[in-house]
Chain A
Amino acid sequence: MSSDIPDAIVVTGIGAVLPTGRGPEALWTAWREARPALSPYRDPYVRSRRITQFGHVPDELQKLGRDSVPHKLRKFGTPFTFNAVLAAQDAQRQAGESWEAIPEERRGLYVAQDDSTDLGAAAFTKALDKARTDSSAQVGADLQRVVAEAFGNAATFNPFTVIRALNNNTLALVSIAERFRGDCAAFVQDAGAALSALQRALFSLRNGHCDTALVVGAGSYNEALKLAGLYRAGQLSAGGHGRDSLRSFAPDRDGTVVGEGAVALVLERAEDAVARGARPLVEVLGTRLRPALDGGVGPADLAESARTLLAAHGMTPDMLGAVLADGKGTVHHDTAEIELLRTLLKDSRVPVSSVRPIVGTLGAAGPLAELALAPDLFAAGELPPIAHLSMSPDEGTDFVTGSARKRRIDSVLSLHSTFNGFAGALLAKRPHTI
């Protein structure tokens, strides 16, 4: 493994607002205890018998998120952008007081966001409600009348809806609330967005475009049309096992359970972190994101892509301490991932686990949540098992089942795929100072 490369980038602060609670420790504990944070789907505007389980951020934590945002900014945000601000504040706090001395113009902000939940059915219905329109007999028949009533003026349609609908909403709110004026980027491509945001942050730090980078992943799948689209595509579990319904790699898996959350990471050059007395928590080596299965690129190509990522850092697959698989729990994704893992790891006995059954499919926050777990993996020297999985789905790959695998872990590769056909990987290792 390469060491002490001059452009080493480390994480010095982590914030997380997830279905498991606040901070990465809550996620780590839930994973170790095999305690899923999935719960029955609920929404003030949507009722469904088919959307059964969801990874909801607890109400009290949502309230904390809202309270963390300056009052004048709240009208521009959505619950998940509020969560992002809270996660950002926690990450900066952990990065230490000396971090605040970095000039605002040198603070880069790189954001991964899910598709907006606004300009969706809920916003539309709020407008209809306010217009006191009974649309039942008119659905699709008298569009002009309904529209005139619901969309006609600011009294029925929130004037900031389009701001909330913009997918740079998280970038805007975090930058204003937390005073970031530097280099920036924002992405929307499910979990792939976080890989892109991380890669651009690494690039900007290594090339001097900023002196610190806050990488934020935030979002929610809780939008009626989005959920309908996912269900229609056969991606969602029927929920027959209640909170245990996301069954990564299990023979009885029948789909994923989507959720919501936000994770923020403070990144900086290792020498800068050490110079200001900050504690590096994990070194981020790099990410890869590629168009996947639909693009004529199969598991073997994706395994090669991951191998290339490892090679760029002087590593081979057998040197890995652990692999965190995506494990969405859909028949299609998991089958492809099993083949990818077999091709990549080839009897190396590198243990493979997944946190997905605990926290659900998080979209933009997902890869960052797994990166946030790395310090605990390094410190505890154990890899918790894949919840609900009693038998390895593949003889050639060491899926961790039953109990945690004790071993020294110095590096972690996490794998990710998106609903729109992208696949990627994220490589991190133990920083040299711990």
Chain B
Amino acid sequence: MTRRVVVTGLGAVCGLGLDWQTMWDGLCQGRSAIRAWRLPGVDDFPVRYAAPVDDEAFAERYGADEELNRPMERRARFGLAAAGQALADAGFDASGTPGRVGTAVGSGVPERDPHELLHAVSEDGRPSWQTLYARRAGLNPASGLLCTNDALAASIARRHRLRGPALNFSTACAGAAHAIGHGLRMIRRGEVDAMLVGGADSVLNLPTMTGLHLLGAPSTSELFGDRLCRAFDRDRSGLVAAEGAAMLVLESEESARRRGARVYAELAGFGSSLDAHQVTAPHPEGKGAALAMSRALADAGVAPEQVDCVNAHGTSTPLNDPIETRAIKDVFASGEHYRKLAVTANKTMLGHLIAAAGAPELIATVLSVRDGVVPPTLNLENPDPACDLDYVPDKARYREVSVAVSNSFGFGGLNASLVVRGHEQ
């Protein structure tokens, strides 16, 4: 059995807004969520810009939702909110479909509260469970079992009574894309009828940001202010971290038709690969990235010449951008089709949502196909000779997008690409 899979619901919580409409409007308008930022309690932390979720606005919108106000990690809170939005947007009620609707989410590093870590330190400078236990009243109530990596998948399944498979993917920055891609496969082959898929992450805490900083991943530059995320620009200097979540409802075309659901687009293909090269650097020739894109196109039954747009991983790191450019040129080499592609980097506006990144970017890809708009790549002021594609600088471009590819690549050399195609109702 091979079934077509369509997107029927969207939800988003990110720095650009607390729903997908606001996010999409922001992307099309070239608005950036990146702003001056301070790590709470550490004024001299060297990373000075990020794209956080507006806590006040979130509290205003979800303050009455008891479940979202229970102790939990930030990413779980954002993920639950986005999941609820996507299911409501799809008009989806899973209660009548026991076991035929599941969830797959991508998540990253558990959020560790530094106070919690300090509480684990005993009087002789070593962690002591007794000390931790004795001080348990002071522990972050979101700690312990609640911050295991699969807590979001479990919470979504419980809250929305999704009794089908519940999967928690952990493939770094490709996590959400892998969750979405495997969700596609499961529906296509009839394992389930629908899947709530996406990702949620928040790295804007001391331990994780410190780890990322010491790895040299986030930019510490203050030269460009909130124009710091400069994907494909000569002066790019690292990623800009963000937080948030995005979810999509995928379902079989038959299921959508039966329900009379609105269809945004078809999710047509998925490809994944491994670089098997280095943990902290992509393959220098972009072989893994190219393989993921080629596989996704083959999976969709789409020729490279049919693709109009690539929603790039585009991290604004020195290594990723030229290598992704090279991989795109390899995949779309025939007839130099890469010259005709509109390549966009949403991270210049959203920041890098790490494990969740692939989900808002897939939403943007879906809406590009639906609306015929390619959001811009901001801050591309001084092109890098090694990045010589059409990156849609500065302003959104209105053009027909029949087929688009969304890329996500992760630490460790993990690659995932998704193909979106227009859908005739």
Contacts and interface: CB of A to CB of B under 8 A. Distances in A.
A324 to B, nearest CB: 21
A68 interface: no
Contacts of A161: 210-211, 214
B99 A172 contact: no
B153 interface: yes
Given A51-B129, A232-B136, A143 B115 contact: yes
B133 interface: yes
Interface string A163-176: 10111110111011
B185 A171 contact: no
A172 B144 contact: no
Contact of B165 (A173, A225, A289): A289
Contacts of B214: 153-154, 157-159, 161-162
Contacts of B261: none
Contacts of A173: 279, 412
Contacts of B148: 115, 188, 190, 226, 229, 419-420
A192 B168 CA distance: 9
A109 B114 CA distance: 34
A243 interface: no
B129 A48 contact: yes
B189 interface: yes
Nearest to A305: B99
A104 B276 contact: yes
A146 B120 CA distance: 14
Interface in B262-305: 272-280, 287-288, 291, 295
Nearest to A420: B154
A418 B150 contact: yes
A264 to B, nearest CB: 16
Interface stretch (B155-163, B229-237, B367-375): B155-163
Interface string A251-291: 00000000000000000000000000000000000001111
Interface residues of A, number: 100
A31 interface: no
Interface stretch (A11-19, A91-99, A179-187, A314-322): A179-187
Given A172-B412, A184-B274, A46 B125 contact: no
B117 interface: yes
A143 B119 CA distance: 11
A198 to B, nearest CB: 12
A148 B354 CA distance: 25
A157 B207 CA distance: 10
B374 to A, nearest CB: 29
Interface stretch (A124-132, A338-346, A351-359, A369-377): A124-132
A167 B162 contact: no
B145 A229 contact: yes
Contact of B144 (A144, A187, A232): A232
Nearest to A228: B132
Given A136-B124, A172-B413, 13 more contacts: A49-B130, A121-B127, A162-B109, A176-B412, A185-B182, A196-B167, A224-B132, A226-B148, A232-B136, A290-B163, A295-B161, A308-B99, A418-B150
| 10 closest Cβ pairs, A-B complex | A229-B144, A172-B412, A162-B211, A189-B150, A167-B170, A48-B129, A121-B120, A121-B127, A291-B157, A188-B149
